[in-house]
Structures are given as C-alpha cells and as structure tokens.
C-alpha cells in the first residue's frame, strides 16, 4: 500500500477566501464576504471527489482558488507534492497539473477560433511549438473524446452542445494534467446527451489515471460518478465520506435534506425539506452556519465557536454538535418500527 502522503494528489488546509465589501469612495464600514471559510480537503490519486451543495455555497470559488485563478485569504494548498499557496508554484506550472471543464460549453469556447486554434493555444503557451507535435497531440485528443480529425477546422457554432463539451474536455486534457475539476459539466446539456458525457468522463478517468473533483448540485450525477463526497454549505465542508456512506447514511441535517430531495421511485427520505434562504455570507450566523434553516437546531447550535469536522467512524466526518444525539434518536426510531 502507498504511503498516504504519496497517495494524496491534492491537499487543502484551512483555506479561506474573503472578499472585502464597502469602505470605498463614500466611506462606510468595510466588511468581508466569506465565500470559502476554513476548508480542509483531500483528493486521492485516481479518485473522483464529488463536491455538492446549493448555489452560492462556495464550490466554484474553491475550485478557482485551487487552480490559482483566485487568491486565497489564508490557508495552504499542496498540489501533487508541491506547495502552491503564495509563491510556491507559478500559474503555468500549476496548469500542467490541474485543469477545469466548465459548465457552459457555449460560452467557454471562443466563437472566433477554430477547434484547432483552441487546442493549440495552451500547447504553444507551454512551449510545445513543433508543428508536427502539436498536430499529433490535437488529433490524439479529438479521438479520445470521440471527435474526428476534420472537426479541428470547424468553429464552435458548427457543433451540438454535447460536441462542444467534448471539445472543452479535449482542451482540459491537452496538457496531460493529473487533476480535472468538473464544474457542473453536464447541467447545460440535454438529458439525452448527459449519459454520453458522463460515460466519456468515467472512461477517460480510468484510461488516463485522472483524479476528478466533480462540482455539482445534481446528486444523481454525483452518486453515479464519485468515490467520495464532500458536502459544502456557506463556505464550509459540513460532511464528507465515501459515496455509499453519504447516500445511505447521511448524518448532517443539511446532507439528509439534500439526499431526501433526490427524485427516487423508491421514495428514500431521510430528512425534512430545507426551508428559508442561505444566510448572507456578509453576516455569518454564530455557531453552526446551518442553524437558521435546520429543523434539528437547538440553543447549543447557535453558540460560538463554529463546530469542527469530527470523524464519526470509517473516514466519515461531520460538522454538527448534535450528530451523536441525533444518531441515537434515529436508531431508537428505527428499532421501534
């Protein structure tokens, strides 16, 4: 068995991204929007980590920070054994390790560039300037994503949505990275095309030995693709574990509500529906960030400090002060049925 440190391709420690708001030309107090607030995360080599949560919970900001496209306020990022926080690794070097497939295949491609220009740009930027080498690499990537060599001379408007997403995947793979961040990669596609793209991503993961972070609010997609799942709420990870544990035994009230909302012919329901809106990140709730919407909230949940992620067994971590109390209660309810 590999050493755990060698088996980990990405490690995020206490990562925070706070955006200053106010205090401009007309004065007023300066406050900070907590987009990401103390995230700890690990990605193992060859695995797919599903990152789920409602819109606005910080998933995409976390992804951009890992890629170096957003500066962190604090924290540490170790990417394939290299410290990338601060001045540890420049953006070009980081791009050879981690890339992203974006949500919208329509807006993520330059409409004025052919597929060939789109795919050759990162190769030239990173020093692969031999024409034969570039042509060979472009042809290889198009074939891997199920497109033909003659597609290289076409423009984005000549392709369907699914084909455009295949081009986006080819662009992410062109530098032979080890990590791909998938930001809602099928949400903008027709239902009939989604399965094709998901199967392509799973095939590429196996054949190329890739590691994925799958960002999605669609838990059905996450359940199908992920080895482990991290649930994010208001800039923090509130629960993480292997996919089977998360989907069959969710322990945080927020996770239970998300799982119960999945359309399911077998009517699996493990929590009450979420009510209310996500609190304003400019005015974070004290104690547990979920308590204003949580049906299980008590006075202890509202008290500072923020509860920590606690391991409750089998690499299953939960950020909830009542996790053990609720487990005992649920077991008693089940045994009484």
pLDDT at 332: 55
pLDDT at 275: 77
Per-residue pLDDT at 4 exceeds 60: no
Percentage of the chain surpassing pLDDT 90? 67
Q: What is the mean pLDDT of residues 222-241?
A: 95
Per-residue pLDDT at 89 exceeds 80: no
CA dist., res. 7 & res. 16, Å (int) = 25
Distance, C-alpha 238 to centroid of its chain: 14
pTM over 0.85: yes
Per-residue pLDDT at 27 exceeds 90: no
Choose the weakest-confidence range: 146-150, 175-179, 275-279.
275-279
- 228-233, strands of its sheet edge to edge: 98-101, 179-183, 211-216, 48-52, 228-233, 236-242, 316-318, 310-313
Per-residue pLDDT at 90 exceeds 90: no
The fold of 8-97+177-336 is Rossmann fold (3.40.50)
CA dist., res. 193 & res. 197, Å (int) = 7
Structure tokens at 325: 């109390």
The pLDDT mean for the chain works out to 88
Query: Do residues 66 and 12 touch, judged by C-beta distance below 8 A?
Result: yes
Would you list the domain boundaries of the chain?
8-97+177-336, 109-175
CA dist., res. 139 & res. 129, Å (int) = 16
Q: What is the pLDDT of residues 57-68, one digit of tens each?
A: 999 999 999 998
Per-residue pLDDT at 337 exceeds 50: no
Choose the weakest-confidence range: 18-22, 250-254, 319-323.
18-22
pLDDT at 84: 85
Indicate the pLDDT class of residue 9, thresholds 50, 70 and 90.
Answer: very high
pLDDT at 219: 87
């Amino acid at each position: 068995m590999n050493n755990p440190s060698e088996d980990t391709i990405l490690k995020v420690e206490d990562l925070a991204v706070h955006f200053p708001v106010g205090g401009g030309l007309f004065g007023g107090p300066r406050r900070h929007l907590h987009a990401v607030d103390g995230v700890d995360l690990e990605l193992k080599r060859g695995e797919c980590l599903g990152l789920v949560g409602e819109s606005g919970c910080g998933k995409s900001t976390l992804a951009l920070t890992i890629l170096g496209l957003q500066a962190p306020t604090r924290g540490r990022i170790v990417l394939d054994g290299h410290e990338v926080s601060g001045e540890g690794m420049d953006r070009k070097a980081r791009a050879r390790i981690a890339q992203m497939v974006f949500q919208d295949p329509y807006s993520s491609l330059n409409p004025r560039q052919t597929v060939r220009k789109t795919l050759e740009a990162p190769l030239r930027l990173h020093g692969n300037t031999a024409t034969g080498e570039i042509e060979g690499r472009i042809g290889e990537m198009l074939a891997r994503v199920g497109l033909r060599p003659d597609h290289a001379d076409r423009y984005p408007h000549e392709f369907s949505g699914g084909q455009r997403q295949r081009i986006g995947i080819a662009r992410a793979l062109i530098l032979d990275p080890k990590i791909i961040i998938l930001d809602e990669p099928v949400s903008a596609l027709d239902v009939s095309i989604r399965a094709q793209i998901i199967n392509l991503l799973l095939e590429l993961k196996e054949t190329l030995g890739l590691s994925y972070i799958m960002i999605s609010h669609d838990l059905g997609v996450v359940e199908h693709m992920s080895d482990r799942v991290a649930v994010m709420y208001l800039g923090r990870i509130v629960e993480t574990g292997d996919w089977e544990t998360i989907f069959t035994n969710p322990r945080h009230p927020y996770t239970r509500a998300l799982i119960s909302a999945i359309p399911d012919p077998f009517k699996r329901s493990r929590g009450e529906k979420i009510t209310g809106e996500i609190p304003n990140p400019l005015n974070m709730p004290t104690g547990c960030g979920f308590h204003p919407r949580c049906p299980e909230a008590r006075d202890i949940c509202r008290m500072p400090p923020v509860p920590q992620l606690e391991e409750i067994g089998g690499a299953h971590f939960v950020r909830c002060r009542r996790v053990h109390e609720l487990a005992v209660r649920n077991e008693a309810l089940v045994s009484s049925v």
